[in-house]
């Protein structure tokens, strides 16, 4: 059952659409691009944030500036006693933050990696209340420039899709940044479905839906169909690990299958039972990611 707030939004957009479908489309986009509040919403999120506090305090905090916004990067240095395993950029999903990926970043550091965990605009320690895919890719570009590139990318949900788009150079005016290996966890494979689902959720009429998609394309500088991370992944020619749960209720398993079908460089592994959020903290998932990145180190050593 739709919440009272959603019903009010639907009613308001319906009224606006009768006067101006374009105005309704722009309003729908503003709703979509507005990031959620940063306070933990559940007891589990509060517990996770409190548990990660000590770990996050160990990071060097770096503010990144780019056209249209700012972001905060948390750099965890590689342990001096470990053989250096490479630099990893880790990016969270929509409504999340770097702190919620602490189990993953700790596991990577323990394996000898230097880790940079990004708080996307409007999330975590980063300022703002707006985020779009082009903004995320520009933040990734800023991190690449600031830290001198990355050996590996690892992202959850929206963060994984953003990294795949960044590696493939799908955002106009932002150069492609190709790591040696790429990992996505519970990530969407393309953006068109997102705005179709948004239209269904908000019950936009056909004209307002067209206006919404047209507004997105004007902002992005390319057709929505261009932001197909799965197609881009197949052309990357670098090993890619796609981890997904068939019981993921937020990003359908069909997205993982699209990635897997895009090329022989993509390996799909199911992490069933972990859903969309617990998957990033699951020990078997973190262990598999560490092993996947270590395979690259063994290949280079050989």
Over range 100-114, report the average pLDDT.
97
pLDDT digits (tens, 9 = 90+) for 168-177: 999 998 999 9
- DSSP element (H, E) containing 104: helix 102-110
- Segments of 77-179 assigned E as strands: 86-91, 113-119, 152-156
Q: Report pLDDT for 292.
A: 98
The token duo for 25 is 């489309």
Q: Report the predicted TM-score, pTM, of the whole model to 2 decimal places.
A: 0.94
Domain ranges of the chain: 1-32+203-224, 42-191+227-301
Residue with tokens 């550091």: 109
pLDDT at position 302 over 60: no
Confidence label for 1 from pLDDT (cuts 50, 70 and 90): very low
Looking at residue 224, its pLDDT comes to 87
Q: pLDDT tens across 189-218, in order?
A: 998 888 998 899 899 999 999 999 999 999
Which string of DSSP letters, residue by residue, matches 242-283?
EEE-TT-SSS-HHHHHHHHHT-TTEEEEE-TTSTTTGGGG-H
Chain mean pLDDT for the chain: 93
Quick one: the chain helix, strand, coil %, rounded to 5? 50, 15, 35
Q: pLDDT tens digit string along 125-164?
A: 999 999 999 999 999 999 999 999 999 999 999 999 999 9
Q: Provide the pLDDT for residue 44.
A: 86
Contacts of 176 (CB under 8 A, 6+ apart): 166, 167, 168, 169
- The yes-or-no verdict on residue 87 having pLDDT over 90 is yes
Query: What topology does CATH give the domain 42-191+227-301?
Result: Rossmann fold (3.40.50)
Count the alpha carbons within 13 Å of 277 in the hemisphere toward its beta carbon: 10
% of residues, the chain, pLDDT over 70: 98
Q: Give the closest residue to 263 by CA, choosing from 295, 233, 296, 225.
A: 233
């Amino acid at each position: 059952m739709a919440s009272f707030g959603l019903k009010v939004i639907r009613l308001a957009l319906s009224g606006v659409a009768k006067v101006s479908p374009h105005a309704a489309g722009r309003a729908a986009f503003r709703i979509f691009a507005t990031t959620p509040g940063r306070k933990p919403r559940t007891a589990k999120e509060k517990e996770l944030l409190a548990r990660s506090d000590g770990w996050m305090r160990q990071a060097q905090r770096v503010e990144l500036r780019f056209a249209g916004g700012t972001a905060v990067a948390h750099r965890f240095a590689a342990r001096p006693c470990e053989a250096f395993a490479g630099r990893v950029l880790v990016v969270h999903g929509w409504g999340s933050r770097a702190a919620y990926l602490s189990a993953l970043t700790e596991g990577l550091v323990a394996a000898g990696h230097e880790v940079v965990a990004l708080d996307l605009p409007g999330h975590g320690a980063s300022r703002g209340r707006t985020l779009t895919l082009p903004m995320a890719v520009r933040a990734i570009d800023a991190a690449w420039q600031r830290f001198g590139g990355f050996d590996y990318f690892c992202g959850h949900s929206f963060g994984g899709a953003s990294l795949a788009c960044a590696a493939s150079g799908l955002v106009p005016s932002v150069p492609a940044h190709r790591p040696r290996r790429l990992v996505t966890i519970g990530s969407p494979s393309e953006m068109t479905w997102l705005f179709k689902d948004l239209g269904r959720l908000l019950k936009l009429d056909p004209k307002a839906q067209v206006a919404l998609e047209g507004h997105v394309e004007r902002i992005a500088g390319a057709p929505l169909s261009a932001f197909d991370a799965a197609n881009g992944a197949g052309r990357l020619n670098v090993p890619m690990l796609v981890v997904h749960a068939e019981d993921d209720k937020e990003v359908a398993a069909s997205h993982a299958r699209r990635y897997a079908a895009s090329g022989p460089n993509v390996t799909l592994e199911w992490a069933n039972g972990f859903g969309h959020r617990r998957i990033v903290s699951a020990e078997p998932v973190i262990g598999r990611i560490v092993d996947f990145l270590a395979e690259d180190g063994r290949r280079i050593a050989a």
